[in-house]
Structure 1
Amino acid sequence: MELIESPLQDLKKEVSTGTTIIAVQYQDGVIIGADSRTSSGSYAVNRVTDKLTPVHDYIYCLRSGSAADTQIIASYVSYYLNMFSIEEGCLPTVKKAAHMFREFCYQNKQYLLASIIVAGWDEENGGCVYNVPLGGSIIKQPFAIGGSGSSYLYGYCDIHFKENMTEEEAISFVSKGITEAIARDGSSGGICRIATINKDGVKRRTIYGNELQKFWEK
């Protein structure tokens, strides 16, 4: 007798998701960028998702993994950073925010599918980028990449990254990296959102699909 698999069994299967996120230090702060496609398996759930998530005035996070997991972690961190700012009467550092993310991810690593890049500017350290990968470790880096599209970008970053870039050079580095990933990763796509974070605040811009440089163009 042949057993018929219940349609409900599909709900128990792991769903593959994808994205491309990049953060890089430059002379005066950090540049962050992401594509805008949210996928569930082979289905694009949302083509214009905003993946640049603010957790405080000068601190943002870039999320990859489960959208639900990373959203709830970001909301908790934002709440505690605001409480800290009110109680201490000062702005939190990027390092503090990154360690909050690390604590949540590490303490719940068996339940979460969450990889976070934390980037921002503070008076104590200037522009900083922290990577909090799966499992909840924490690494301070001059740049960080994440998501399914990042596997296509290691060679690009090795060749084109340099320290103390100008704002224009850093924006070009991020936008071209997103373009490379969108061209090759089926789970990355849509538009490119970029934010500049420095002592003057946050300046955001959007590069639409028809404005992105084609990966074969020099």
Structure 2
Amino acid sequence: MDRHSTNSKVNGVSTGTTILAVKFNGGVIIGSDSRASIGGSFVSSKVINKLIQVHDRIFCCIAGSLADAQAITKMAKFQLSLHSIQMESPPLVKAAASILKELCYNNKEELQAGFITAGWDRKKGPQVYTVSLGGMLLSQPFTIGGSGSTYIYGYVDAKYKPDMSREECLQFATNALSLAIGRDNVSGGVVHLVVITEDGVEHVVVPGDKLPRFHDE
């Protein structure tokens, strides 16, 4: 049975997406394209929002089976809400990433999903974590994922710098996603970005015709 997918591989079938998260001076940006695919080459939707808010200042990008990822984020939201009530304080970003990791690991035989988790908390400020298929957890200053990411490793390695300003980071993320969309046939649509800081959360949507272009199509 085919399933909607937003990751590089599900059940051995190549599928498409581009997701990323980047820390900057005072915050973090998490972003993605908006396509979902079936069977690796058929674009089933151009308007999927892969950025899921799991708590006030914590978001994750979904990858893998869309249905599996949605089930895991629903469970994570419940656990984080309960945790916040019990502790009488907002959950840490690492706690959210750890919950996603445990859910992925404990269900790795049944569910195909991975995540980029990013957010801000009062203990460590802005943070980025990768939760891979199967449940491995890594903390990184920036990370990219999905089939479109294979086209932009050189760009992000060359252009990333620590302590970027908000504006520099927004341009970095937009350029990276635009480059991936230009090369990966199942990444595309609009670019969704969320800027997370101590002051709150800002959603940014860049339409496809407003993305920067680096080559003739």
1:69-120 CA-partner distances (Å, limit 9, x unpaired): 1111011001100011111110000000000011011111122211100000
CA distance in 2, matches of 1:18, 1:75: 23
- RMSD, aligned CA: 1.6
Corresponding residue to 1:30 among 28, 31, 36: 28
1:179-208 CA-partner distances (Å, limit 9, x unpaired): 011001011000001110001110011100
> Helix, strand or coil: the match of 1:139?
strand
Q: Verify the 8 A CA contact 1:93 1:122 in the aligned structure 2.
A: yes
The match for 1:202 is 201
The match for 2:88 is 89
Unaligned runs of 5+ in 1: 1-7
Given residue 196 of structure 1, which amino acid in structure 2 is its aligned partner?
A: V
CA distance in 2, matches of 1:56, 1:170: 23
CA distance in 2, matches of 1:112, 1:94: 23
Q: Verify the 8 A CA contact 1:193 1:206 in the aligned structure 2.
A: yes
Question: TM-score, normalization: structure 1?
Answer: 0.91
Find runs of 4+ consecutive structure 1 residues off by over 6 angstroms. none
CA distance in 2, matches of 1:146, 1:187: 14
Aligned length, in residue pairs: 208
Q: CA deviation at 1:14?
A: 5.7
CA distance in 2, matches of 1:120, 1:40: 30
User: Sequence identity of aligned pairs in percent?
Assistant: 46
Given residue 25 of structure 1, which amino acid in structure 2 is its aligned partner?
A: K
Unaligned runs of 5+ in 2: 4-10
Q: Verify the 8 A CA contact 1:18 1:148 in the aligned structure 2.
A: yes
Q: CA deviation at 1:15?
A: 4.8
The match for 1:177 is 176
CA distance in 2, matches of 1:52, 1:189: 15
Q: CA deviation at 1:216?
A: 2.7
CA distance in 2, matches of 1:152, 1:133: 19
Question: TM-score, normalization: structure 2?
Answer: 0.92
